[in-house]
Amino acid sequence: MYCFGRNDLRGIIDDMMAYKVYKALGLFPFSEVGHGLDIANLCTTATLFPGGGFELHTTCLVAARYTCRRLPVLGKPAFGIINDGKDIVLPGRNGSFPFNHTITMFHRVQLPLSALLGELDNSVDIRLSLWHVGVGAISLSAIAITCLKVASTNVYRYSLSCHVGVPPPIPIISFRTQQIPIFTAVAQVYRDVIYFFYDASIVLIQQSNMRGMSMAEGDVFVLCIQTLNSNSLLAKHMYTPPIRLTDRVSLSDESAIFNKYTTMVKEHGYRGDHYHSFIPPQLQMIIEWIGHRMAYDAAVTQGIPQALIEMDVGWYIEAGVLTQDQVASMEDRAMKATFPHMNQWVDSMGVSDYLKAPILPEVK
């Protein structure tokens, strides 16, 4: 969105979008050590000169930026990062790549006017830009799908190649204890979005990436509180996309959970200890239920096999809709229905060229 009319940025953006990491690496250092994402109290200043250009300055220690990376990576410089790679360097990160972290401070750094992304317009309300946080959260969390693809493909192919028992031996994927976690991971890949504990495994690296993503997305909970506050619970002002499907048992789960906490707010109010003790901790769960319903609708609409998109059953047991025996029978039917198609579904993920785990026969 920032490169329209900016020929000086087009080449860099094209390289980044094409994942040409041998040519371009970039990362925005948004967070400050003492403020995180508290944008109202950020202390880093960018002073506009009358003749054009800016002076970037860190006004105090708590304004130091903490999401920069250490130079160099693959022998290439980063864009928009000022750091000599020596001063104030933190220990190297284990596992996750390619960005190591350091604390960066700016001492009256002179920048050209072209360093600004977007328009120079002070009349725009900064709050109108907050929707970018939600877009960033979705983009960042998309890595979870890739991690699930690689992890589930690794363990599925290993389970196919590993045989046990008296002659003739059988592959361990035949055991239900292997099928349940692996098939569930495959289903999650198609619906929404570790196994090898040694340094050579890309799964371990991805696990580190996921941990970093979780820390970076610590503001998700705050977004949920802002999205679904007491006014939304009382008046149901929050908009959610309409339910497309009307022929499934999970139709009532979202509204039932919403009504449960709406009733609680009406009975106890939203200013006392009861509200602060029971409502805010559950707001993320409510948002997740809405997201699950939307993901289910989207998966069915796109023709994803039914065996891969059965919903979580925890609420249905609590509400008395299903018993544990019924859930076990449903799980058994789902495992039997997916087994004959699992090779096709795993291959369709398209991650075979990226498997590096030495435990796989094709990697040895």
350 conformational bin, left if phi > 0, alpha if psi -120 to 50, beta if neither: left
80 conformational bin, left if phi > 0, alpha if psi -120 to 50, beta if neither: left
Average pLDDT over residues 128-135: 68
Buried b (16+ CB within 10 A) or exposed e, 141-166: beebebbbbbbbbbbbbbbbeeeeee
Average pLDDT over residues 312-340: 78
Tell me: the pLDDT tens digits for 190-221?
765 433 333 444 555 555 665 655 555 555 66
Residue that has been written with the tokens 């160099």 in this structure: 72
Average pLDDT over residues 254-261: 74
Least confident of 3-12, 314-323, 331-340: 314-323
pLDDT of residue 200: 40
Residue partners of 27: CB distance under 8 A and separation at least 6 = 67, 68, 69, 78, 81, 99
Start-to-end CA distance of the chain, whole Å, equals: 44
Which has more pLDDT, 161 or 96? 161
Structure tokens belonging to residue 330: 């449903």
Q: Which of 1-15, 44-58, 179-193, 230-244 has the highest mean pLDDT?
A: 44-58
pLDDT of residue 67: 57
Could you give the percent of the chain with pLDDT greater than 90?
Answer: 4
Structure tokens belonging to residue 4: 């329209």
The 3-state DSSP class for residue 65 equals: strand
Average pLDDT over residues 314-323: 69
Q: Which of 5-14, 16-25, 135-144, 154-163 has the highest mean pLDDT?
A: 154-163
Structure tokens belonging to residue 274: 């009861």
CB-CB neighbours of 15 under 10 Å = 17
pLDDT of residue 194: 32
**Element of type H or E holding 170:** strand 170-171
| Domains of the chain by residue range | 7-126, 141-218+349-354, 220-341
pLDDT of residue 115: 83
Q: What's the pTM?
A: 0.51
Which has more pLDDT, 121 or 95? 121
pLDDT score of 235 more than 60: no
Tell me: the pLDDT tens digits for 159-184?
888 888 778 888 889 888 888 888 88
Tell me: the pLDDT tens digits for 23-79?
545 555 667 878 776 777 888 999 999 988 999 999 998 888 765 444 444 555 444
Tell me: the pLDDT tens digits for 276-305?
777 777 777 777 777 777 777 777 787 877
Which of 299, 304, 302, 311 has its CA nearest to residue 345?
A: 304
DSSP category for residue 127 = G
* DSSP β-bridge partners for residue 48: 54
Computed over every residue of the chain, the mean pLDDT equals 71
pLDDT of residue 56: 92
